[in-house]
Chains A and B, each alone.
Chain A
Amino acid sequence: MDFLKLIFINIRRHRLRSLITAAGIGFGAASMLCIVSIVLGAVGMFQNILSTESQFILFERNVSDLFFSSVRASQLEEIRNFPLVKRVDPLLVGIVSSPNHPIITCFGVEADNPRLRQAHWLHGSAAAFGREKDAIYLGERAASFLKATIGQEIPIGSRRFLVGGVLRTANGFEDGGVFFPLRLAQEFFHKESQASLATVELRPGASFAAFRKQVDARFPDLIALEDKEFNRSYSQFRILNVTSWAIGICSFLLGGMGVANTMLMSVFARVREIAVLRVCGFSRQQVAGLVLGEAAILSGLGSLVGCAAGFAALVAMNAAPQLQGYVRAALRMDLLVGVAVVTLATAIAGAFYPAYFASRIAPAEALRFE
């Protein structure tokens, strides 16, 4: 007698219930995959914006969000003259809206910023950046959803700007955003002689600790963090991580309760059958194994369907112009394994009590049960 067959007969016997349970688990897995992918993708993209070729990110101390950070041009100029420093790239970040597009991210950068050099220019060139008056440069996706091309005048916020070029970057945020020459951005956002932050590249062999010490001593209102350190400590990333974990735990609890309910119903429906198996020499562990096995198979099925559905949803979101490339539909093996493991753990945790209950069924009592 095949143990697996005994598990499968109960799944087959209640096809609709099994299907609904697997669908519920799949929905949870798909939600988790989407949420975590979006959060990781967003964090990854934001990290890329900040750390082109640099080792340090410099910004105002004790700000909760980089949009509120302010680094003065005079401070940056002084830091450029530190002997340890090779280059400093200021970045002014702002958000505006335009008709039909409530959020457009704007990046104010200097003409020699490495990200402009590294981008693939579809129209115009990095060399022409900032040469034309009131010209802005669109990310490929932004150009697509704003339906704009080079030479056109388009409304951004309260003003109209000339499109000086269209560029493709590897970053969803940048691709869905607008690049301004730094001075134009400062004027537009009323932040004259300011940047939100700056990325700093040190000279080869320069001591990171010495640079940090120098910044701390000279500018107590600024903080210089290494890229990795920044990714760990930046409060927005922490909030996103905690939120995704919280949602994950809620899904875990809800999924576990769903599985517990289904498996308990399944056990109640076959009390007599379990009693007969016990009479035929099945141990408590074997009976529990039947219930846990059923839950594991349903969760496996749910995981497969959920991961496929979640990936399809990510691809659909990726293609939606409204999302401006904020979502990156990348199938990461560690994420898939993580979702599968969490789903299995949810199912096993949810089936634990029903399995325990089934294993404690007293044959004599159950055989009296009509």
Chain B
Amino acid sequence: MNTEEPRLGSVPAAGEKPSSVIVARDVWKSFDHGRTPVIQGVNLEIGRGEMVALWGSSGSGKSTLLHLLSGLDRPDRGEITILGLDPSREETRLRLCRRHVGFVFQLHNLIPDLTMLENLRIPCFSERRPAREVDARARYLAEKVGLSHRLTSRIQNLSGGERQRTAICRALMNRPEVIFADEPTGSLDERTADVVFNLLLRLVSEEGASVILATHDQRFTKGCHRSLHIHQGKALPL
């Protein structure tokens, strides 16, 4: 049994660490060539280790805001920095994705033909870390989520909850400083959703990472340090 947590990854940028992991200034985003405004002038700062929920109804723009804050999408206007870096540049975004941020989606988005262990190796692929270290980290996380016995199982043989727990492990593989979770329990039944959500918060808290959680379920906002209501393109304190 491996309980010794291996140290992977490195401190993000050279120099002083910024106190805020994410800063968004006057961020705007629309679709259909500007005909459908989705995000309208959002200002936001998220601190190190902070857990922030973006709560809103379906179509309110919380996923869009999450994608903008994570650097997966670019704003039409405004500025976003992650750990003091500008994610709009491809090399910076890649560097962030490879070392400093992790993602959990509503659908697990694992590769079904691969085993759980192989899926967990994917975020470490581009960094070419020693296989032994990577596998040790995978085993450590699998044990934390109670799936160490499923490491060699193919994803298609795992249950919905097990898949989502695997997705959480994948997001944590590189010891990221920020986790972006987009409706991570949206595809699960209520009981499993509670288990997976609590697991996510506990693990992230142990890792000392910040979390930005997009959810339509107000129950989950209670476990976070701060909640923002996404409504008509604005982020309002809840």
- Taking Cβ atoms with an 8 Å cutoff, the residues of A that contact B are 1, 3, 5-6, 9, 12-13, 272-273, 276-284, 286, 362-365, 367-368
Closest chain-A Cβ to B176's Cβ sits at a distance in Å of 11
Asked if residues B73 and A279 are in contact (CB atoms below 8 Å), the reply is no
Known interface pairs A5-B118, A279-B97, A282-B126; A364-B72 also in contact (CB < 8 Å): yes
Cβ–Cβ contact A273 & B97, under 8 A: no
B229 interfacial contact with A, CB 8 Å: no
Alpha-carbon gap, A283 to B92, bound state (A)? 11
User: Cβ of B133: which chain A residues have Cβ within 8 Å of it?
Assistant: none
Contact across chains for B114 and A9 when beta carbons are under 8 A apart = yes
Contacting residues, chain B, for A367 (C-beta < 8 A) = 67, 72, 105, 109, 182
Q: Quick one: closest B residue to A286, CB to CB?
A: B126
- The interface residues of chain B lying within 8 Å CB-to-CB of A364 are 67, 72-73
Chain A residue nearest to B167 (CB atoms) is A276
A-B contact pairs, 13 of them (CB 8 A): A1-B118, A1-B122, A9-B113, A277-B122, A280-B97, A280-B123, A280-B126, A280-B170, A281-B94, A281-B126, A283-B94, A367-B105, A368-B63
Whether a CB of chain A sits under 8 angstroms from the CB of B226 is no
Q: Chain B residues with Cβ under 8 A from A277's Cβ?
A: 122
Known: A9-B113, A13-B113, A283-B94. A1 touches B124 (CB 8 A): yes
B5 at the interface (CB under 8 A from A): no
Q: Give chain B's interface residues, CB within 8 Å of chain A.
A: 63, 67, 72-73, 90, 94, 97-98, 103, 105, 109, 111, 113-114, 118, 121-127, 170, 182
Minimum CB–CB distance for B114 against chain A, Å: 7
Chain A residue contacts of B90, Cβ below 8 A:
284
Residues in B whose Cβ lies below 8 Å from that of A272: 109
Residues of A within 8 A of B124 (CB): 1
A282 to B121: give the CA distance in the assembly, Å.
12
List the B side residues contacting A276 at CB < 8 Å: 105, 109, 111
When C-beta atoms are compared, the residue in chain B nearest to A283 turns out to be B94
Bound form: Cα–Cα A304–B90 in Å:
39
A3 B113 Cβ-Cβ under 8 A: no
CB atoms of B127 and A281 under 8 A apart: yes
- Give the nearest-CB partner of A278 in chain B: B97
| Top 5 closest pairs, chain A to chain B, by CB | A281-B98, A364-B73, A1-B121, A364-B67, A364-B72
A6, B121: Cα distance in complex, Å: 12
Given contacts A9-B113, A364-B67, contact A279 B72 (CB under 8 A): yes
A49 to B124, CA, bound (A): 66
* Complex CA distance for A20 and B182, rounded to whole angstroms: 39
Closest to B67 in A: A364
Contacts of A273 in B (CB 8 A): 109, 111
B19 to chain A, nearest CB (A): 26
A280 contact set on B, CB distance < 8 A: 97, 122-123, 125-126, 170
Instruction: Say which residue of A3, A281, A368 sits within 8 Å of B97 (CB atoms).
Output: A281
The chain A residue with its CB closest to the CB of B131 is: A1
Which residues of chain A have C-beta atoms less than 8 A from B125's C-beta? Answer: 1, 3, 280-282
Q: How far is B70's CA from A367's CA once the two chains are assembled, in angstroms?
A: 13
Q: What separation, in Å, do the CA atoms of A272 and B123 have in the docked complex?
A: 16
Chain A residue with minimal CB distance to B68?
A: A364
Interface centre among A3, A278, A284, A363, by most chain B C-beta atoms within 10 angstroms, is A363
Q: How far is the CA of A2 from the CA of B208 in the complex (A)?
A: 30
- The distance in angstroms between the C-alpha atoms of A282 and B93, with both chains bound, is 11
Name the A residues within 8 Å of B103 (CB-CB): 279
A352–B111 Cα gap in the complex (Å)? Answer: 24
List residues of chain B with CB within 8 A of the CB of A278. Answer: 97
Give complex CA distance A272, B107 in Å: 10
Residues of A within 8 A of B97 (CB): 278-281
A368: nearest chain-B partner, CB-CB: B63
Whether B123 contacts A281 by the Cβ 8 Å rule is: yes
A sample of 15 more A-B contacts (CB under 8 A), given A279-B97, A283-B94, is A5-B118, A6-B111, A9-B111, A278-B97, A280-B123, A280-B126, A280-B170, A281-B94, A281-B98, A282-B125, A282-B126, A284-B90, A367-B105, A367-B109, A367-B182
- Complex CA gap A9/B118 in Å reads 12
